[in-house]
Amino acid sequence: MPPLSETPHVCKEYETLAVPLREIMDADGRLDIYPEVSAKGYFDIDFTEGRLVLKSRGVVGLIPISDRVTIHVLPRAPIGNIIYMVWRAGQKLTGLETFVRGYQEEWATIENPETVYFDTFLRTLREVRRTGLLRRYRGQESTTEMRGRLLLNQTVSRFRSHGIAHQHVFSVFDHSIDIPENRILKHTAERLANHFRSDTSTHGKEVHAELRGLLAQFGQVDALRVQPEDVARQTAPLVRGLPNSHYFYEPALWLSYLIATKSGVVMEKTGRARFETVLIDVATVFESYVRKLCEEAAATDLGGCRVYDGNKLTVSLFADHSRFPTKPDIYFKRGGIALAITDMKYKPSLKAEDRYEILGFCEALNVNIAAFVCPRFAAEPDVSLHGTTSGGKKIYVLSLDLAAKDMAAEEKRFTKLLGQTLGLV
């Protein structure tokens, strides 16, 4: 089997990339492209001036298009935010065993999904053994040590008020390794060690033995109370707060996040190369993510409306309930009456067919207001009026910043603005 290109062609989502035809021709001069690539819609494909021109769509990751050529599609938003969005959307991992065993290639930086894999986790633990565990000053109360800062209120309420004069409460700060970052790494290492304990292959035994040895350095770290929801909640802010001295913690923390939340990455094996890669269908995740935000905010920011998924509860285009159903991404009802529509478009620009489609949804539901929800790719405004039809239907465009440093705050801003724009509150 011919080797894959050591240096993949790189582009961002929705960018075009030209690949010389000579790189994808076989020995007989025939075009040699995996049919799975075009069938799955990873790229829009065209031929011009002796080049294969690819326009990437809403899937990010390392995608082989032939035995020798790979395309590395980079996300426009930080991979940490995309993984957070995957988790919030409720996407599921296809299988932990395949995930932790299948990842063998390393690429560039954490901006790429390909860096979040099992071997990196092991290398992080080896680097911890070489550099030392991350330490932070941790404050705690102590009644057994006469050091630190005396806490008068706590001393009086706990002891003096009960006639105990010899006991005191102190605020003590220690340069500790028993901190959230190390608890998460230990929790994940123990989980993986338990997983490989049952693997009787030579590789499995070697991995299990190394994990057990590397875990010894976490002896003073208490991970007993760590739960998957703790990992999901804490990972993103912990990664942003890593000091330069321990920045190698980052990929291991993200792998911990993926395993704990069973997040939506897919292991693909494409073509004769059988190349294993993590692909994230960000366009699909984006739709599920926005719908989840609307469902959670329905009782508050969206005025108590009910949120419907048009893919599951279709709406007939014609009043006679004919066989032509429409599938708006989201429609809102209150008291059984449809009020507005939201359609998610994970793309840098809207097209004519997008406008025709949303106007069809408005007609089917007999509503006069709708909104496209798009990611903020550049300097798009928070909200803009896309247009008003002669019949009075108003179409807006709202942008959601997937590169926000505080995703929770961005979510709240977005749902509040959506409710106001659609007149739901």
Give the pLDDT confidence of 35-56 residue by residue, as tens digits.
777 677 788 888 777 677 888 8
Between 50 and 344, the more confident residue is: 344
pLDDT at 422: 97
Task: State the average pLDDT for the chain.
Answer: 80
Confidence of residue 261 (pLDDT cuts 50, 70, 90): low
Confidence of residue 77 (pLDDT cuts 50, 70, 90): confident
* 280/382 Cα distance (integer angstroms): 26
Assess whether pLDDT exceeds 80 at residue 323. Answer: no
Q: What is the pLDDT of residues 406-421, one digit of tens each?
A: 888 999 999 999 999 9
Assess whether pLDDT exceeds 60 at residue 129. Answer: yes
Assess whether pLDDT exceeds 90 at residue 383. Answer: yes
pLDDT at 268: 54
Q: What is the pLDDT of residues 196-255, one digit of tens each?
A: 787 788 877 888 899 999 999 999 999 999 988 888 788 877 887 888 888 788 878 877
pLDDT at 98: 39
pLDDT at 229: 81
Domain spanning 298-421, CATH class: alpha beta
Assess whether pLDDT exceeds 50 at residue 376. Answer: yes
| Beta-bridge partners for 63 | 71
In the chain, where are the structural domains located? 136-176, 298-421
Assess whether pLDDT exceeds 60 at residue 100. Answer: no
Number of alpha carbons in the 13 Å side-chain half-sphere of residue 47: 6
Assess whether pLDDT exceeds 60 at residue 101. Answer: no
Assess whether pLDDT exceeds 60 at residue 265. Answer: no
* 415/238 Cα distance (integer angstroms): 26
Assess whether pLDDT exceeds 80 at residue 103. Answer: no
Nearest to 332 by CA among 364, 365, 306, 363: 306
Assess whether pLDDT exceeds 60 at residue 108. Answer: no
CA angle 193, 195, 196 (to 5 degrees): 65
268 burial (CB, 10 Å; 0-12 / 13-18 / 19+) is buried
The pTM of the full predicted model, rounded to 2 decimals, is: 0.68
Fill in the amino acid letter for 256. Answer: S
Tell me how far apart the terminal alpha carbons of the chain are, to the nearest angstrom: 61
CA angle 306, 309, 312 (to 5 degrees): 130
* CB 84 within 8 Å of CB 75: no
What is the DSSP pairing of strand 337-344 with strand 369-375?
A: parallel
Assess whether pLDDT exceeds 80 at residue 102. Answer: no
What region, left, alpha or beta, does residue 108 occupy, with left being phi > 0 and alpha being psi -120 to 50 degrees?
left
60-64, 113-117, 162-166, 315-319, range with greatest mean pLDDT: 315-319
Between 292 and 20, the more confident residue is: 292
Sequence-distant (≥ 6) Cβ neighbours of residue 351 within 8 angstroms: none
Looking at residues 307-329, what average pLDDT do you find? Answer: 89
Q: Phi, psi (5° rounding) for residue 166?
A: -95, 0
